[in-house]
Amino acid sequence: MAKSKKSGSRKSAKAGANGNRAKRESKNPDFKRGLAVRRSMWGADGAEKQVNAAGDFIWPLQEVVTTYCFGQTWTRPKLSKKVRSMITLAMLVAMARPNELKVHVEGAIANGVTKEEIQEILLHAMVYSGIPRGVEGFRAAEEKLKQMGLE
């Protein structure tokens, strides 16, 4: 019985910590902008759901990604979100990161990048980063496009 009480107190402590985080971050304009960018690219599942589900270990990652990556970098005015998505896809091919590529294919489509443009980006990146990385990128992108009903 004490064990379940302890488990329950952990849950309420975690819920309290997540609630305090949300309150603190709601005052941070960069975090709010980043959450809006994430929501526009991946919906609530890629924004609030991931942030709200973050435990103590993963929270710093969510905070950095939302604040700095999306809130400060993706919102800069010199490049559109579409162009940023295109650059990101090319870099992910070059770094051989197929799981992140799948995530960003979905975001790129939301940002107005067409399937044909994704194909050209992958071909272009393959020339500069190597055939095996390009093959891996094409396979990952095709898998995501099929899941999205676009292939």
In one-letter notation, the amino acid at residue 86 is M
Find how far residue 108's CA is from the centre of its chain.
11
pLDDT in tens, 90-145: 999 999 999 999 999 999 999 999 999 999 999 999 999 999 999 999 999 999 99
Looking at residue 20, what is its pLDDT?
Answer: 60
pLDDT in tens, 7-35: 444 444 455 456 566 656 668 999 999 99
- In 3D space, the residue among 36, 22, 114 whose CA is nearest the CA of residue 75 turns out to be 36
Domain edges within the chain = 14-73, 81-147
- In 3D space, the residue among 150, 81, 78, 79 whose CA is nearest the CA of residue 119 turns out to be 150
Classify domain 81-147 by CATH number: 1.20.1290.10
